[in-house]
Chains A and B, each alone.
Chain A
């Protein structure tokens, strides 16, 4: 397969198509975490990736692979009680499919495993719709979202077409990168989890965050939300601030003309045309991807998704780092050696973890990033007012129009926000409105 995978200086790894050699001494993984469910998640991902390493990679996926699962039930007695519960179950859905997806998204299984198992995933402040729980891997490369069993069913419904879409766009998309889907059972309670690539950077802090849908009804952060450390602002907030994402005038104009034509083309044709390939330069690609993605989502009758936008302010970050250094020096004589400018907190690597091989690549200047790791990052253009890095991708794509209608009719009310929208918008309209709003905010 042709892919856009470029790796950043892996340490003495000879890349073969399916296996990367890891010359690393075996590290004891204890799966220690603050909660049993996190230990089970770590154990489970460790186990399933190991199992997969003993299953040959097939030439291509078969229909059965989209219905498959692996289930394991552990019952220990007076053994291994320190970090794991004695009884738990772990189920992985469609293991071969997600392995294939990880490959297409240029994620090596060993790295995936390491990110999720070397140290416990961290709780994240952000909350999805309906208070879904979010976690991020300790190295901030992946996001683990707790989902409902309906979401699992919807994933199964779209999985084949989603996979096909990923094949055709060579992994180059703004859609969530689905990397694994699991069901954990601890103390008789079932929890469903989906792992995706983090939209934001694993290194650069996001200073401002937006969840944009292109609608105007109830699209404003509440006061409670604004009180948080990193609030999730919405459409009206964005518009009220007069914000623009400054990625470049000329390119944007050039592509919008093209995209208008693409949007009017029948939704059946998804192929990459030559002229579009030429236009695969930096930023404006996001416009093009946006169209294709919207077409894809509309075709599958999915709606209510958002564009998640994170903004990294380069100057502010530099200032913050200097502040930390200063504090670090002051505390140097007080602490046990945690000073000296070592960043603890959200970007601290756990004390006993060696750097991930992919971290050791090069030294990154302020506002710089490795595009093969931070795949959604776009720099502001050179003449922009502020030096910023934007992270933009689509999230929450599992709401199906038919399921919504059923729910709304069952609720017998249109007062609720979602209900109000359903009486006016269908997936086609939603995607159109979404696309228009997004093209407006880019400059």
Chain B
């Protein structure tokens, strides 16, 4: 949409007519997220970007409480609170991950985030931004505390690897209060593509205990398969030598970092895009649309009716199986000689600390539970080694 875009180091000029944002959503919580991100990015635009982060920035927060009376009631609740943790740190992280604040803002506010089928550990709730670039995960207050504990080291790691990592890209962390209920949310870059569909999904840890998708899970539209399913399916990740080398090098550094911080129980999330299958699906959906054309308003793949496309993906159409590596940063094409696939692979769920686990396990006084069984055998160092070895074997 923006025709003349100048990329400067810190500010991009947006010659875009002001668009009214109504923050309309099905759930007041989503409206508050949209409002909150909009507010936070706007506030940050009035704070000078420091040359470097200070220790205080890792303890900082911004809090705002809104109380309206007979005003703006259509889309927003009348009373809510929004807290952003370490605003300057996350702004810096966004910059290091190549994400412009205005684009981040637009993705999260132009249209309401969508509910995601995916479920994290313990049924954590997921949303994706309407343009599918970002994932918003509802987390616990313990997770927020753990994030604070690791934030400085995480940031340092990102500085050293120049943002080139398989670890989650943490982009913002918030606390919302609506109707007296507090909800903690963290925003990360989507591991999967914002465009290419994933037809098969795996969550791999490198362990063998209870690592199989349940029947209930298998009944879903896109089930999350696990280690045993992967092995039993004879699934392979066909990437060429160069890609494999780069990938494993990144992974090695990442798990080393995690082990150092005594974090464990993370997974490798794997998503597979099958190019031919996707082409077939698109042909079918076009046929369906042609049939329905007289009937419906056309509702395609889900760009909201009134949203212009994001500035970044309007330049040229991408052919099947093609992607923009600056947006779909985790995408790896399959080896030329094998079937045409695109793989999306990254590490997720990194906030489980060993010490916290041990405490919990001892409190529960049982080792029958899956996590308990593991804790009696594996520590972070061992976990990382076993994890890394398993991933190495699945890449051909």
Whether A79 is near chain B, meaning CB under 8 Å from some CB there, is: yes
A79 to B18, CA, bound (A): 28
Q: A25-B13, A70-B68 are in contact. Are A77 and B59 (CB under 8 A)?
A: yes
In the complex, residue of chain B having the shortest beta-carbon distance to the beta carbon of A21: B17
Question: Inside 8 A of A26's CB, which chain B residues have their CB?
Answer: 11, 13-14, 45
Interface flag for B51 (CB, 8 Å): no
Q: Mark A31-53, 1 if CB is under 8 A from B, else 0.
A: 10000000000000000001101
The residue that B64 contacts in the complex, of A21, A55, A65, A74, with Cβ under 8 A, is A74
Minimum C-beta distance from A244 to chain B (A): 48
Could you mark each residue 58-72 of chain B with 1 if its beta carbon is under 8 Å from any beta carbon of chain A, else 0?
A: 011111111111111
How many residues of B are counted as interface, with CB atoms below 8 angstroms from the partner's CB atoms?
Answer: 35
Q: Is A54 an interface residue (CB 8 A)?
A: yes
Given A30-B46, A80-B43, A95-B71, verify A56-B20 contact (CB < 8 Å): yes
* Main SS at interface, chain A: loop
Once the chains bind, are A56 and B22 in contact (CB under 8 Å)?
yes
Residues of B within 8 A of A70 (CB): 66-69, 71-72
Q: CA of A67 to CA of B70 in the docked complex: distance in angstroms?
A: 7
Interface residues of B in 336-371 (CB under 8 A from A): none
Q: Nearest-CB distance from B110 to chain A (Å)?
A: 12
Residues of A within 8 A of B182 (CB): none
Contacts of A54 in B (CB 8 A): 20-23
B17, B22, B67: the one within 8 Å of A71 (CB): B67
Known contacts A73-B64, A78-B57; is-contact A53 B69 (Cβ 8 Å): no
Q: Known: A31-B46, A79-B88. Is A74-B63 also a contact (CB below 8 A)?
A: yes
A415 to B15, CA, bound (A): 64
Q: Mark A71-91, 1 if CB is under 8 A from B, else 0.
A: 111111111101000000000
* B59 adjacent to A78 (CB under 8 Å): yes
Verify A29–B71 contact, CB threshold 8 A.
no
Contact partner of A67 (CB less than 8 A), chosen from B15, B42, B57, B69, is B69
**Across the interface, do A51 and B48 meet the contact criterion of CB distance under 8 Å?**
no
A70 to B69, CA, bound (A): 6
Q: Within 8 Å of chain A (Cβ to Cβ): is B181?
A: no
Using known A-B contacts A54-B20, A70-B68, determine if residue A23 contacts B15 with beta carbons closer than 8 Å. Answer: yes
Tell me if A79 and B87 are in contact (CB < 8 A).
Answer: yes
The answer, yes or no, to whether A64 is at the interface (CB within 8 Å) is: yes
- B286 to chain A: closest CB distance in Å? 36
Known: A19-B18, A26-B13, A79-B88. A68 touches B71 (CB 8 A): yes
- How far, in Å, is A323 (CB) from chain B's closest CB? 39
Minimum CB distance partner of B58 in chain A: A78
Please give, as numbers and ranges, the residues of chain B lying within 8 Å of A347 by CB-CB distance: none
B56 interfacial by beta-carbon distance below 8 Å: yes
Report the minimal beta-carbon distance from A153 to chain B, rounded to whole angstroms: 16
- Interchain CA distance A255-B140 in the complex, whole Å: 75
Q: Which single member of A19, A69, A74, A76 contacts B71 (CB below 8 Å)?
A: A69
CB-CB under 8 A from B18, the residues of chain A are 19, 21-22, 53
Report the minimal beta-carbon distance from B384 to chain A, rounded to whole angstroms: 34
- Write the nearest CB–CB distance from B68 to chain A, whole angstroms: 5
Question: A410 near B: Cβ within 8 Å?
Answer: no
For residue A40, give the distance in angstroms from its CB to the closest CB of chain B: 13
| B318 interface residue (CB < 8 Å to A) | no
Partner of A76, one of B48, B57, B62: B62
Contacting residue for A30 out of B48, B65, B66, B69, CB 8 A: B48
- State the Cβ distance, B84 to closest chain A Cβ, in Å: 9
By the criterion CB–CB under 8 Å, are B13 and A65 in contact?
no
CA distance A420 to B48 in the complex (A): 57
Chain A minimum-CB-distance residue to B49: A28
User: Do B56 and A78 touch across chains, with their CB atoms under 8 A apart?
Assistant: yes
Residue contact B61 to A76, C-beta cutoff 8 Å: yes
Chain B residues whose C-beta falls within 8 Å of the C-beta of A69 in the assembled complex: 68-71
Say yes or no for A96: interface residue by CB 8 A criterion.
yes
Say yes or no for B47: interface residue by CB 8 A criterion: yes
Q: Provide the bound-state CA to CA distance between A235 and B72, in Å.
A: 47
Contacts of B74 in A (CB 8 A): 55
Q: Which residue of A lies closest to B46 (CB)?
A: A29
Contact A72 B66 (CB under 8 A): yes
Given A69-B69, A75-B64, A78-B59; 15 other pairs, CB 8 A cutoff: A19-B18, A26-B14, A26-B45, A55-B72, A67-B70, A68-B69, A68-B71, A71-B67, A73-B64, A77-B61, A78-B56, A78-B61, A79-B61, A80-B46, A82-B48
Chain A interfacial positions (CB closer than 8 Å to B): 19, 21-23, 25-26, 28-31, 50-51, 53-56, 64-65, 67-80, 82, 95-96
A-B contacts, 12 of them at CB < 8 A, read A23-B15, A55-B72, A65-B71, A74-B63, A74-B64, A75-B65, A76-B61, A78-B59, A79-B47, A80-B47, A80-B62, A96-B71
Chain B residues with CB under 8 Å of chain A are 11, 13-15, 17-18, 20-23, 42-43, 45-48, 56-57, 59-72, 74, 87-88
The 5 closest A-B pairs by CB, nearest first: A78-B60, A68-B70, A75-B63, A71-B67, A73-B65
